Structure 1
Amino acid sequence: MAGPPMAVVNACTRDGQGGSPTAVVIDDATLTDDERHATARRTGTSHTAFIDTSTPDTPTVRYFTSVGELTNCGHGIIAAQAVLLHRSGATEHHGRLNSAGRIFATTAIRRRNGVEVWFDQGVVALADYADATGDGIIAALGLHRADIAADVRVASPGTPRLLVPVRDHRTLLSMRPDFDRLAIECRRLGYLGCFTYALSPTARTAAARMFAPAIGVNEDIANANSVGCLAAHLLDTSGTGEIEVHQGDTARRPSSISASATHTGAGIVARIGGVVDLGPPIVPG
């Protein structure tokens, strides 16, 4: 029996290439969570977004990896909104999306090279990194203290992760983490993973790698929420919250994500954007 409509799209492409392959399933709410897990494993992508369109004005999206459900997935939001725009036949849509009880404002616009999507991430909480037991995570990343360019910080748009600045692009590309050890350390301290990055001399762009073996994703090709976290961190420390981040080069899947952070009465908020290549037409799964 055919499953619900499904597509694999490339989220957060760079110059029309690469991006993170992301499965998007139109979920009619008849699937069980076990079936969603099985579907996520079967797609072969790092993340699968399941869209419940029973409330079309504010569709609900859930995200699964091969090992479990996530409360949020930034490039999953971007992929889901691109698919919804495609299904509607419209050229532009401004709407809302429900993810784990949080409402995200979204914009999707057809462009020549795909669908450009932006979403409001919400408040990003920032804190200093304070691992009382020493350098376990740094060592698990395959780094030494001399490789760290500035203070490591904890950033959370709902789920905390570490922002780890390294001294240069070469250091970033040469990283070879111990994924088993890193998963243990992240679970012990309650972190989603580690977003390692190297800023350009102008600090307007950065190269980054996201390691999250604790949730079953050793290295993410594109991690939109962490880019929003980086924009918030830069606004907090330098006063400038605009950044474009390149990921995926080590996997030969170049990706690009942009983010803009601003101060509000509730705290620092970020807006995140990327372009989606829809690929072949959506077909039953």
Structure 2
Amino acid sequence: MAQVDVYLVRAFSISGQGGNLAGVVLQADALTDQQKQAIAKAVGVSETAFVSQSDKADFQLSFFTPTVEVDFCGHATLSAFWLLHHLQKIPLGNYQQETKVGVLDVEVASNCGVLMSQSLPVWLTEFSAEEIAPMLGIDPQLIVQLGLPIQAVSTGLVDVMIPVPYGALDCLVVDLEAITRFCQQHQCVGFHVFEMNSPDEPYTANCRNFAPAVGIPEESATGSSSGALACYLNRHFGSQQAVFEQGRAMNMSSRIVTQLRVESGELVCVQVGGEGAMYKVMSFEF
């Protein structure tokens, strides 16, 4: 029997509170995928990251929800690199992680934050409000009046970007079974629903994320979806920096910072960042 320690980290936390819990297992080279899946299920948070050695980058990371492996996870990446620095295993600086979506850059910054590079956006199917709104329990016209598309976008994982009017986000009546069927049919991870704030507010937008098809009814911070939303807002409003709040409906508010780099009119870099905080350590025997 071998003991495996799982560190639970609050990713995208605000002053050490809130955020999105991610599990992190260090030195995971000897674990099989079946063991990783069993650990992720036992931990029970939305994703657990497993850190191994890599011959392509500084570290190799794999990500498991309680039910399946996913190719990438932003908040678990933040948690892993924050933890490596917190445990004094790496100094401040720039690193690379090998993931199933490629080798991605990660910066561990002096302000105790972690800034992650994501894949450049892939623009996928647009959907109608009449198709999407019933799954959120709102009138399709509330979406149509905004003049913004409902579109699947990926900067690592495919999420459907869904704009709703200000004030509607907290009033959603979500049909998780319908969202599961839809995501399985259209090969996407989940719904990323957002309402824009006025320019003088501290957050660009408030968000909610639903990914029941991969075992996550609602998530309090999603790094990959935030990168996709930042690209969506850049395409429609030209913005290159955005700060998102997520998790309010779960009493786990999170702060997610995004920044894009555009050169000669072309988007060349997508970065998502935030702070981490330790929650607790769990141990399992295998």
Q: 1:194 aligns to what?
A: 191
Structure 1 residue 39, shift from structure 2 partner:
0.4
Alpha-carbon separation, structure 2, partners of 1:96 and 1:2: 29
Q: Secondary structure at the match of 1:167?
A: coil
Structure 1 residue 91, shift from structure 2 partner:
4.8
Q: 1:257 aligns to what?
A: 256
For 1:142-221, list aligned pairs within 5 A: 142-148=137-143, 149=146, 150-168=148-166, 170-202=167-199, 205-221=204-220
Query: Do the aligned partners of 1:13 and 1:19 also contact (CA within 8 Å) in 2?
Result: yes
Alpha-carbon separation, structure 1, partners of 2:267 and 2:198: 28
Alpha-carbon separation, structure 2, partners of 1:47 and 1:40: 7
Query: Do the aligned partners of 1:63 and 1:69 also contact (CA within 8 Å) in 2?
Result: yes
1:96 matched to 2:96? The reply is: yes
Alpha-carbon separation, structure 1, partners of 2:267 and 2:137: 34
Q: Secondary structure at the match of 2:3?
A: coil
With normalisation by structure 2, the TM-score equals 0.89
Gaps of 5+ in 1: none
| Aligned length, in residue pairs | 278
Query: Do the aligned partners of 1:161 and 1:191 also contact (CA within 8 Å) in 2?
Result: yes
Q: Deviations over 1:94-127 (max 9, x none)?
A: 111111151111111354xxx3100111311234
For 1:1-285, list aligned pairs within 5 A: 1-53=1-53, 58-89=58-89, 91-100=91-100, 102-109=102-109, 111=111, 115-127=112-124, 129-130=126-127, 135-148=130-143, 149=146, 150-168=148-166, 170-202=167-199, 205-264=204-263, 267=267, 269-280=269-280, 285=284
Query: Do the aligned partners of 2:57 and 2:98 also contact (CA within 8 Å) in 1?
Result: no
Query: Do the aligned partners of 1:232 and 1:262 also contact (CA within 8 Å) in 2?
Result: no
Alpha-carbon separation, structure 2, partners of 1:5 and 1:185: 36
**Greater Cα offset, 88-97 or 247-256:** 88-97
Structure 1 residue 3, shift from structure 2 partner:
2.2
Alpha-carbon separation, structure 1, partners of 2:18 and 2:160: 25
Query: Do the aligned partners of 1:91 and 1:110 also contact (CA within 8 Å) in 2?
Result: no
Q: Secondary structure at the match of 2:26?
A: strand
Q: Secondary structure at the match of 2:168?
A: helix
Query: Do the aligned partners of 1:235 and 1:262 also contact (CA within 8 Å) in 2?
Result: no
Query: Do the aligned partners of 2:29 and 2:53 also contact (CA within 8 Å) in 1?
Result: no
Gaps of 5+ in 2: none
* Amino acid of the structure 1 residue aligned with 2:134: A
